[in-house]
Structure 1
């Protein structure tokens, strides 16, 4: 099986693990992943943040790594990609105001291509009016937003995944094992052990 071509939309202070881990893991199994950010070009970087769960009422936030983009936002054509990856963190709260981001997302929604969204990444789908009637999960603080947008929101364990046809979602990075496995299945990726 030939690898798929995947588009990942990121931004400053996106969640470090939610960007780095899928970016590397999806390439490891043979897929091509292009990470882009509005207003930035290939070779530029975004700052990431590490969100941790330490027993407080919400996650804590620490500085992450600088993540280097490997494609230019203004030069990519969504039609050239087989699937979309939307990490969480703080970036989605402002990326959802970018018309170009919404237009890219709409392409994947309208063509029923696979979409993997994690944590606050679901805010991008909500802003694109793409969650109504969909069964999904997100970071719990985003649950009311998903319900208000008409989604069938599932409050699941942070390590779980919810799959609705081509849409694969998980509440946060602790769900990576199940989330990535489910996304690979939707992509038709065959891994032989």
Structure 2
């Protein structure tokens, strides 16, 4: 039964990732920015900063999970409120990535112009697939104990990969507006 549940969780994630990639690759990108700019000068800095905030909240997720499960070199027990903070950090990180991903898929499509854009597209689609699997795994019984930490680590790695191939790249380009 555990193998069937594990396969089902993995299949859902794979289907989400492939569906996003297929949509991004098959539709005609609009090339237009979203209406959201929220005090930024352009779409690119908004996406870069929202993604950066998402990565920082993702780091808080990794650290809080490690503390709650006794994997940090901290001698005292995790505070009782840390579990709730862990969930809120994850929720907020996810919400902050949504306008970024929407614009990437709708306006730009699945990038194949360079190795950087291919990696960015793969990391982004895989991130949402792993997210779907992790959320499903949270509510599925009979899964191996290693699955949630592995899914969380993979989720963070994919988020950092997507961030590094877009936001970090953006921030290191000469003459780009940062706000």
TM-score after normalising by structure 2: 0.26
Q: Greater strand share, 1 or 2?
A: 1
Q: Greater helix share, 1 or 2?
A: 2
The structure number with the bigger radius of gyration is: 2
TM-score after normalising by structure 1: 0.25
